[in-house]
Amino acid sequence: MQRILKMIRKEFIQIRRDRGLLRMVAISPLVQLLIYGYVVATDIRALPMVVMDRSASSESQRLVDRFVASGYFKLQGYAASLSGVEEHLNSGQSMMALVIPEDYARDIRRGVVAKVQLLVDGTNSNTATIALGYAGGVIGAENAARLEQNLQRKGIREIEAGIREEPRVWFNPSLRAINYMVPGIVCVLLMEMMVPLTAFSLVRERERGTIEQLMVTPLRGGEVLIGKAVPYILIGLVDAVIILTAGTVWFGVPLPTNMLTLFVCTLLFIVVTLSLGILVATFVGTQQQAALSAQFVLVPNILLSGFMFPIESMPAGMQWFTTILPMRYFLVIVRGIMMKGLGLFDLMDQILPLAALGVLIFSISWLRFRKVFG
Amino acid sequence: MKHSALRAIARKEFIQIRRDKATIYMVFIFPVMMLVLYGFGIRYDVKSVPLTVMDQDNTAESRQYIDRFANSPYFAVRNYAENYRELQKDIDQGKSRVALVIPANFSERIGSRREAVVQVIVDGADNNTATIAMNYVSSISRSYSASILLQEMEALLRQTNLTIPAIEAEPRIWFNPNLESVQFIVPGIIAIIMMMVGTVLTAVTIVKEKEQGTIEQIVSSPIGRYELMIGKVLPYAVLSYLDFLIVVVASSLLFGVTIKGSLALLLITAFFYLIGVLGLGILISTATETQMSAMLTAILASMLPSILLSGFIFPISQMPAFLQAITVVVPARYFIEILRDIYLKGLGLEYFWKEALYILVFGFITLVLAARRFQKRLG
């Protein structure tokens, strides 16, 4: 016990001397919270659009107004010709063009199908898909209004048959994006800090040759490991607290009611990420290699865990692959605790696989640690 | 500047890297992994939303309505719940994101041409998916309603000579007609990977000499500081540029992504970008003392903005004003714009000379700043 404490103290002294590191530990969560909070957690609105109105009628004006009034599109200007439209799309000034043909108003008045053209910049396929969806909604609404008008004019009473939905939104009734983002940022940040930091602190001893010195001391392998781990566990917890506090104070995200469950699960996840860091450290000889190979762990976890992109939309093979990513389970756990108020037992189907994965990763990294560092 | 000294330092670095097989493998595998993950893994559209159905009516009509959900690519029916408790459990545990409750009077009201009300319960935690899923539900319900309405009104409409719909939109997608996401991510991946290798590894390798104290040995040798700086950076410049080429070739071989514009312009602007990438790496190395903090700083200052503030996935026009202002100094923003112009739009220099100039100026400024600080720190 005495020896472990000494080891922890040594590690703390090293961390304290590294001003740059302390700065990052404090700043990184805040910067990430701001960027993710304001960039990822925003709905797509006010997409820049250009109109080429060759009909120039009250009918065409009504359609344009409906596009603007929807709030999904922002009118950047009118183009007189197709080359003007092309210029807008090429320069990226607009991402969608609405082209209304000459006979639009005539067709509408005669009750013939009137066609309009939507030219969409597909370079960002994601935004393009969303824009098409919005445009479809706007045109659908205009259609419904026209139909009702036409029917009324012909003296036909509309039939009220059909289905009306009554939506009930649970857990996040106002559909605030930031409420969903903050739990995710806790996961990302822990992953981003813990894996490389642990790997670096172990590899550093080897790179500088100080590991031999540690090995000739009466410290046993396990004691070295615990001594190394404790300071980083604390750093992880501090960062989690920073994010939760800033998320509450700045973005008004409701605090979780079940703090103890959150604490226990966070601790479990930190241990898993530490084990991953140890595992990485056993495969590399220099800190530079550690920096690179940590990316091989981080990138799949961040991209495929459901942090930004839902897992169920992925191809089947990738969905299967996600089951070995620890972050996938922890994300569901943190969101479950913070947004749904779930308790330890509700979350067992996530906690158990995470713990099992943790035991597996830890065992492998412990075996390798003994072989490589022992 | 002494060329022999420069050559000696660069040679030392190249030898060190060549001995370091692991780094070389990783540097070459990394871009391929990114391509595969972004290209195959991520889907930006929402599909197969897990759905729980509670059918209290259990008639041909209600099943017909449910079938519309089951047959749609947007929903996957996970469970038919018997009661509310089962339904609640599904949503609580995240087994389903949407639950549909069909009331017992559904078929009766539909049959008598009155409005039937169904309850839609949505897990709002993921606000984005929730919004999209609700839209899907609405559009399925609307088309179901329309089919009933049509049956009813067909005769009437034929009499009165009216068409539904009145307006039809013809979408044309430019630059990326099939809306393939690989097409749009390749530029982003190039910008990110060059940062990863050029900035993060450069910063770490320079700080390593400081951390291990070997820099004193080099400084006390007749090698000048500029030679030292350039010599240290050169191998990473080569690796970073190679990674760019790997993405270009691999995206074409694996995903059939072709370059519509000029290859020469692509190669030149990537070189401009490389200068800034390396300058940033040296700058970070002068501000940090250990490899650990160098890496964390480099990731925060280079990778994160290149991914999130560059318009790579999230459009800049959608960000709040203060973040839009920050993106002005993110070189990846301009580089990605140029890459998209060349790759997808096939445009020439007249469209992106300003961006290219900016990248060049950015590179020049960071390199000058880096060189001055580099001198000061070691002198």
Which of B133, B160, B187 terminates a domain? The answer is B160
Q: Are residues A367 and A267 part of one domain?
A: yes
Residue B136, pLDDT score: 85
Q: Are residues B98 and B27 part of one domain?
A: no
Distance, in Å, from the CA atom of B341 to the CA atom of B246, rounded to the nearest integer, reads 20
Q: Are residues A305 and A238 part of one domain?
A: yes
Residue B170 lies in a domain: no
What digits encode the pLDDT tens for the residues A319-331?
999 999 999 999 9
**Partner residue facing A166 (CB), from B26, B114, B119:** B119
Residue A331 lies in a domain: yes
pLDDT tops 70 at residue A167: yes
Q: Are residues A122 and A185 part of one domain?
A: no
A chain contacts of residue B341, beta-carbon cutoff 8 Å: 90
Query: How far are the Cα atoms of A371, B2, B15, B233 from residue B8, in angstroms, in the given order?
Result: 38, 10, 10, 13
Which of B160, B194, B228 terminates a domain? The answer is B160
Which of A90, A122, A153 terminates a domain? The answer is A153
Q: Is B325 within 8 Å of chain A by CB?
A: no
Which of A34-38, A152-156, B136-140, B361-365 bottoms out in mean pLDDT, i.e. has the lowest?
A152-156
Q: Are residues A81 and A53 part of one domain?
A: yes
Distance, in Å, from the CA atom of B286 to the CA atom of B371, rounded to the nearest integer, reads 10
Q: Are residues B245 and B347 part of one domain?
A: yes
Residue B166 lies in a domain: no
**Partner residue facing A176 (CB), from B127, B148, B205:** B127
Please report the DSSP string for B88-119 in residue order. Answer: HHHHHTTS-SEEEEE-TTHHHHHHTT-EEEEE
Q: Are residues B269 and B132 part of one domain?
A: no
Residue A328 lies in a domain: yes
Whose tokens are 């009813």? That residue is B152
The strand pair at B49-55 and B75-80 is best described as parallel
Q: Are residues A352 and A257 part of one domain?
A: yes
**Partner residue facing B43 (CB), from A89, A112, A309:** A309
Q: Are residues B353 and B233 part of one domain?
A: yes
Mean pLDDT, residues A217-243 taken together: 87
Q: Are residues A323 and A295 part of one domain?
A: yes
Q: Are residues B53 and B200 part of one domain?
A: no
Q: What is the DSSP letter of A99?
A: E
Q: Are residues B362 and B272 part of one domain?
A: yes
What digits encode the pLDDT tens for the residues A48-73?
999 999 999 999 999 999 999 988 99
Which of B132, B160, B188 terminates a domain? The answer is B160
Mean pLDDT, residues A364-372 taken together: 89
A chain contacts of residue B204, beta-carbon cutoff 8 Å: 287-288, 291
What digits encode the pLDDT tens for the residues A178-192?
888 889 999 999 998
What digits encode the pLDDT tens for the residues B313-366?
888 877 888 889 999 999 999 999 999 899 888 888 988 999 999 999 999 999
Residue B91 lies in a domain: yes
Using only C-alpha atoms, what is the Rg of chain B?
A: 29
- The pair of three-digit structure tokens given for residue B190, joined into one six-digit string: 């190039």
Where residue A308 falls among pLDDT bands split at 50, 70, 90? confident
Q: Are residues A305 and A200 part of one domain?
A: yes
Considering its fold, how many domains does chain A have in total?
A: 2
Residue A164 lies in a domain: no
Q: Are residues B181 and B77 part of one domain?
A: no
Residue A115 lies in a domain: yes
Residue B281 lies in a domain: yes
Q: Are residues A331 and A185 part of one domain?
A: yes
* A340/B92 Cβ within 8 A: yes
Structural domain span for residue B341: 3-42+176-378
CATH code, domain carrying A59: 3.40.1710.10
Structural domain span for residue A229: 2-40+173-373
Residue A163 lies in a domain: no
Where residue A208 falls among pLDDT bands split at 50, 70, 90? confident
Considering its fold, how many domains does chain B have in total?
A: 2
Residue A158 lies in a domain: no
Q: Are residues B123 and B188 part of one domain?
A: no
* B196/A295 Cβ within 8 A: yes
Q: Are residues A59 and A193 part of one domain?
A: no
Q: Are residues B195 and B325 part of one domain?
A: yes
Q: Are residues B281 and B185 part of one domain?
A: yes
Q: Are residues A106 and A6 part of one domain?
A: no
Distance, in Å, from the CA atom of A306 to the CA atom of A322, rounded to the nearest integer, reads 9
End-to-end CA distance of chain A: 20
B chain contacts of residue A126, beta-carbon cutoff 8 Å: 44-45, 181, 184, 313
Residue B379, pLDDT score: 40
Instruction: Please report, rounded to a whole number, the percentage of residues in chain A having pLDDT higher than 70.
Output: 97
In a mutational test of the B interface, the residue from A35, A49, A74, A124 whose CB has the highest number of chain B CBs within 10 Å is: A124
Mean pLDDT, residues A195-218 taken together: 84
Low-confidence ranges of chain B (pLDDT < 50): 379
Q: Is B253 within 8 Å of chain A by CB?
A: no
Residue A159 lies in a domain: no
CATH code, domain carrying B57: 3.40.1710.10
Nearest to B356 by CA among B290, B268, B236: B268
Complex-level ipTM beyond the 0.90 threshold = no
Q: Are residues A359 and A212 part of one domain?
A: yes
Residue B23 lies in a domain: yes
Q: Are residues B233 and B142 part of one domain?
A: no
* A335/B167 Cβ within 8 A: no
Q: Is B213 within 8 Å of chain A by CB?
A: no
Q: Are residues A259 and A181 part of one domain?
A: yes
Q: Are residues B211 and B108 part of one domain?
A: no
